């Protein structure tokens, strides 16, 4: 049975003090322990958020890591540096692919660093609007996944067992437009097929696939109603306590439904 995951991506928002207060408020408003809850603040706020979330069951994630573990990379943060601060990390977010020109190969190397450091990656994939309009969305997502996995499989080590993939159509991020639940569910199937072919085999069916892109406490229901989808990566709405409370409450319904179905089967 796959977990239901709600991950908050605060992007470049909040000072450390603001982040600690917001994290504590969100944790208090989202006590549904059947939902895996993750908060990804800016890196300078990781320690403050870790302290604020202690004992709440809400995990801390970073928004990015460098593709190398150490070295002359001014201003960068590496996976080993996250030890004691964060247990999750967003990898390959479309804003970084766009603004920092991150390639699939680079994203794959970041997955390697996560594996070495025991950090649970949330790998982001998704097509842009011209790609969708040209009917290439599925090929683009499958290609992003395949290219990242090729890098990962090049190193002889066990596969990442705790990978999470977020399908985030670029045209839906921060725009107020969302994908259709059914379309996102179909993409989740393509992602799991890609994982199965890329070395995961049968274990691909256990990889959680999240939807991301303008998720709110209202729109999340359409995605959580799809059995192929396992939660959401939430940007703008995750900065609002009442929105996060609504999203996690809805996610808990799905999580309980899965437990109920598993008990009866």
Q: What is the binding site for ligand PGA (CB under 6 A)?
A: 9, 168, 173-174, 212-215, 233-237
Q: Compare residues 108 and 212 and give the one whose CB is closer to ligand PGA.
A: 212
Q: Compare residues 200 and 229 and give the one whose CB is closer to ligand PGA.
A: 229
Q: Compute the least distance from the CB of residue 83 to ligand PGA, in Å.
A: 24
Respond yes or no: is residue 95 known to be catalytic: no
Q: Compare residues 237 and 255 and give the one whose CB is closer to ligand PGA.
A: 237
Q: Compute the least distance from the CB of residue 247 to ligand PGA, in Å.
A: 10
How many whole angstroms separate alpha carbon 94 and alpha carbon 128? 9
Q: Compute the least distance from the CB of residue 11 to ligand PGA, in Å.
A: 7
* 32, 102, 138, 168: the active-site residue: 168
Nearest residue to ligand PGA by CB is: 235
Respond yes or no: is residue 68 known to be catalytic: no
* 32, 66, 93, 138: the active-site residue: 93
DSSP the chain: -PPEEEEEE--S---HHHHHHHHHHHHHH---TTEEEEEE--GGGHHHHHHHHTTT--EEEES---SSSSSS-TT---GGGGTTT-SEEEES-HHHHHHS---HHHHHHHHHHHHHHT-EEEEEE---HHHHHTT-HHHHHHHHHHHHHHHHHTS-SPPPSS-EEEE--GGGTTTS----HHHHHHHHHHHHHHHIIIIIGGGGGGS-EEEESS--TTTHHHHHTSTT--EEEESGGGGSHHHHHHHHHHHHHHHHHHHHHHHH-
Q: Compute the least distance from the CB of residue 94 to ligand PGA, in Å.
A: 7
Q: Compare residues 108 and 235 and give the one whose CB is closer to ligand PGA.
A: 235
Q: Compute the least distance from the CB of residue 262 to ligand PGA, in Å.
A: 29
Q: Compare residues 169 and 194 and give the one whose CB is closer to ligand PGA.
A: 169
Catalytic residue numbers?
Answer: 93, 168
């Amino acid at each position: 049975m796959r977990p239901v995951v709600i991950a908050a991506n605060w992007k470049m928002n909040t000072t450390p003090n603001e982040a600690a207060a917001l994290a504590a408020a969100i944790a208090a408003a989202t006590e549904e322990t059947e939902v895996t809850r993750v908060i990804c603040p800016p890196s300078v706020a990781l320690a403050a958020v870790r302290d604020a979330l202690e004992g709440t069951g809400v995990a801390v994630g970073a928004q990015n890591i460098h593709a190398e573990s150490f070295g002359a990379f001014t201003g960068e943060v590496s996976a080993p540096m996250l030890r004691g601060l964060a247990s999750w990390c967003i990898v390959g977010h479309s804003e970084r692919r766009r603004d920092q020109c991150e390639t699939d190969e680079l994203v794959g190397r970041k997955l390697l660093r996560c594996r070495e450091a025991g950090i649970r990656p949330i790998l982001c994939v998704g097509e842009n609007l011209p790609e969708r309009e040209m009917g290439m969305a599925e090929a683009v997502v499958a290609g992003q996944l395949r290219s990242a996995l090729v890098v990962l499989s090049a190193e002889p080590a066990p596969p990442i067992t705790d990978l999470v993939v977020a399908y985030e159509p670029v045209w839906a991020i921060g725009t107020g437009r969302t994908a259709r639940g059914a379309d996102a569910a179909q993409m989740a199937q393509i992602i799991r097929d890609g994982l199965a072919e890329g070395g995961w085999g049968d274990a691909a069916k256990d990889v959680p696939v999240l939807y991301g892109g303008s998720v709110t406490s209202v729109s999340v229901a359409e995605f959580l109603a799809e059995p192929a989808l396992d939660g959401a990566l939430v940007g703008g709405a995750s900065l609002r306590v009442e929105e996060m409370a609504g999203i996690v409450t809805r996610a808990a319904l799905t999580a309980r439904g899965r437990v109920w179905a598993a008990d009866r089967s």
